[in-house]
Amino acid sequence: MKLIEQQKQEFLDYLEIEKGRSLKTRSSYDRYLSLFFKQTKISSPTDIDENLLREFRLWLNRQPGTTGTLKKNTQNYYLIALRTFLKYLARRGVPSLSPERIELAKTPGREIDLLNEVELGRLLTMPADQDEKSLRDKAILELLFSTGLRVSELTGLNRDSIDLSRDEFSVRGKGEKVRLVFLSLDAKEAIKTYLKKRVDIEEALFVSLKNKVGDAPTRLTSRSVERIVKFYATKAGIGSKVTPHTIRHSFATDLLQNGADIRSVQAMLGHSSVATTQIYTHVTDKHLREIHQKFHNRKNTGS
C-alpha cells in the first residue's frame, strides 16, 4: 500500500472514531480523496503542492455534470475533503501543502424552497381522518414544523425519545451532536393521538402500516417520509416541490421573521457554523423590507 493510501485510511478512521462522523460521511470523503489521488497520481503527501492543486482544480472544473460542467458546489466537496485531510496531516506533523492554501470555488447564492403561511396551513391540515395512517402523517408533519428536524433525525426517533409530559426533547444530529428541540401544542397532541391508535410493540416512533394480518410494522425510512410530504403537498394544491427539508426551511424562517436571533436558530437547527444558518437572512431581509414599506410611510409623518 502506498504511503498516501495508508494515511488516507488512518484519516478516515480518525473521522469516524474521533470526530464521530457517520459512515456515509466517511464513504464520501474516501471517494473524493481517492479521485484526487487517482487523477494526480501522487504517492506521498509531500507530492501535493500548489501547481498540482491548480491542475486538479482545472481538471475538476471541466468535468461533465448533470447540466453542463460540474457544479461549483460539487467541486467544493472535493476541495473540502482535501483541506480536511491536509489539516489532519498538519496536526500530526506530516509535511504537505498548507490547508490554508485551498480556497473554495465561489458559488451562486443558495435558493431556499419555502412555503408561505397559507400553503403551510393547508399542508398541516391535509391529514384529517382518524385512521392510523392519517394520524401518523399528521404527527409527522406537525413534528417536522415544530422542531425543524432533519428527516433522518425524525425517522431515527423511538417512542421513548419523546416525553409528552414535557415540551422539549433531545435529538442526536449530524456529527453525533445532541441538541434540544421543542414541541408545539399541536405537535404534542398529534403524536399523542397517533400513539393511542397504535397497537403494535415496535419501538420506532413512526412505522409503516401492516400490509396484511401478521405483518410486523417497520420503522419508516427517510424516503418514505419524503413521499408522505410530497403526497400531502400535492393534495394541498402546492405547485412547488415540497420536501421535509422545505418544512425545515420554513421552521427557520418563521423563527427569524418573528424576532428570533440567528444564534438561537443555529442552535435549534443543529448547525455547526452560523454561516450555514445565514442562508436564511435574505428571506428575512425581504420580510424587513416589507415591514419598512408598511410602517415607515412618509405621508404619515407629517413631513
Per-residue pLDDT of the chain (303 residues; tens, 9 = 90+): 678 999 999 999 999 898 888 888 899 999 999 999 999 999 999 999 999 999 999 999 998 877 778 888 889 999 999 999 999 999 999 999 999 999 887 766 556 678 888 999 999 999 999 999 999 999 999 999 999 999 999 999 999 999 999 999 999 888 778 899 999 999 999 999 999 999 999 999 999 987 666 678 999 999 999 999 999 999 999 988 899 999 999 998 888 888 888 888 888 998 888 877 877 776 666 655 666 566 665 555 444
d(CA 92, CA 265) in angstroms, rounded, equals 35
* Alpha helices per DSSP H over 41-131: 50-61, 72-91, 117-125
d(CA 124, CA 263) in angstroms, rounded, equals 27
Q: Would you state the pLDDT for residue 287? A: 59
292 in active site: no
Query: 99: how many CB neighbours lie within 10 A of its CB?
Result: 16
Select which of 21, 26, 136, 150 is catalytic: 150
* Alpha helices per DSSP H over the chain: 3-17, 23-40, 50-61, 72-91, 117-125, 132-147, 151-155, 185-197, 222-235, 244-257, 262-269, 274-277, 281-295
Query: 256: how many CB neighbours lie within 10 A of its CB?
Result: 20
Contacts of 175 (CB under 8 A, 6+ apart): 19, 20, 21, 272
Asked whether the beta carbons of 251 and 241 are under 8 A apart, the reply is: no
Residue 171: its H or E element: strand 168-172
d(CA 254, CA 263) in angstroms, rounded, equals 15
287 in active site: no
Asked whether the beta carbons of 123 and 233 are under 8 A apart, the reply is: yes
Select which of 133, 159, 245, 287 is catalytic: 245
According to CATH, where is 1.10.443.10 located in the chain? Answer: 117-292
Select which of 83, 136, 138, 271 is catalytic: 271
Note the pTM of the prediction, 2 decimals.
0.67
110 in active site: no
77 in active site: no
54 in active site: no
d(CA 153, CA 245) in angstroms, rounded, equals 12
Q: Which long-range contacts (CB under 8 A, 24 or more apart) does 221-224 make?
A: 221/155, 222/151, 222/152, 222/155, 224/155
Return the ∠ at Cα 135 (arms to 132 and 136), rounded to 5°. Answer: 80
Q: How far is CA 95 from CA 87, 90, 91, 286, in A?
A: 11, 7, 10, 48
24 in active site: no
d(CA 215, CA 151) in angstroms, rounded, equals 25
Select which of 26, 138, 248, 249 is catalytic: 248
Q: Which fold has domain 117-292?
A: hpI Integrase; Chain A (1.10.443)
Q: What DSSP state is assigned to residue 29? A: H
Select which of 57, 174, 179, 287 is catalytic: 174
According to CATH, where is 1.10.150 located in the chain? Answer: 3-101
Select which of 88, 194, 232, 280 is catalytic: 280
Query: 18: how many CB neighbours lie within 10 A of its CB?
Result: 9
- Which candidate, 72, 58, 57, 5, places its Cα nearest to that of 33? 5
Q: Would you state the pLDDT for residue 277? A: 82
Q: Would you state the pLDDT for residue 211? A: 65
CATH assignment, 3-101:
1.10.150
d(CA 296, CA 290) in angstroms, rounded, equals 10
